[in-house]
Amino acid sequence: MKFTFQQTMRHTLTVLFFGGITAMLLPGCYLDKEEILYPGSTVVTDCSTVQAKFSADVLPIISSKCAIPGCHDASASGGVTFQTYAQISAKKDRIHTRAIIEKSMPASGALLPGEISKIKCWIDAGALNN
């Protein structure tokens, strides 16, 4: 089958047009965290109603969700261990970013909203050893 010059040009222009549209739209299809893109646009935990204490609230969450084999226990391959107050409070900013804002940790899945609130409020209150 032989195509005329006009048919070939029409086909080429059609491919370029739809290829260009696709190339412009694809970068818009990505997953970003709303909290990072639009700070303050999400529901904020009211820490005046959440009284989070390290030993009673934060440590049990970290112990059961983070300081587990293969992650942040004594054999942590990355060297970041979350077993004591000193270890956890030293990384509170990183915990805030990864677990509260990005919700990318723990690796098993995001923390529950109540757990996020307790950790956030504990950090916001100064990350005390209480």
At 60-71, the pLDDT tens digits run: 999 999 988 888
Provide the pLDDT for residue 128. 95
Q: State the DSSP H helix or E strand holding residue 100, giving kind and residue range, or none if neither.
A: none
At 81-124, the pLDDT tens digits run: 899 999 999 999 999 999 998 888 898 888 888 899 999 999 99
Q: 46-52 — which CB contacts under 8 Å span 24+ positions?
A: 47/117, 47/120, 47/121, 47/124, 47/125, 50/117, 50/118, 50/121, 51/121, 52/117, 52/118, 52/119, 52/121, 52/122, 52/125
| pLDDT confidence band for 41 (50 / 70 / 90) | very low
Provide the pLDDT for residue 121. 93
The pTM of this model reads: 0.65
| pLDDT confidence band for 49 (50 / 70 / 90) | confident
| pLDDT confidence band for 54 (50 / 70 / 90) | very high
Provide the pLDDT for residue 34. 53
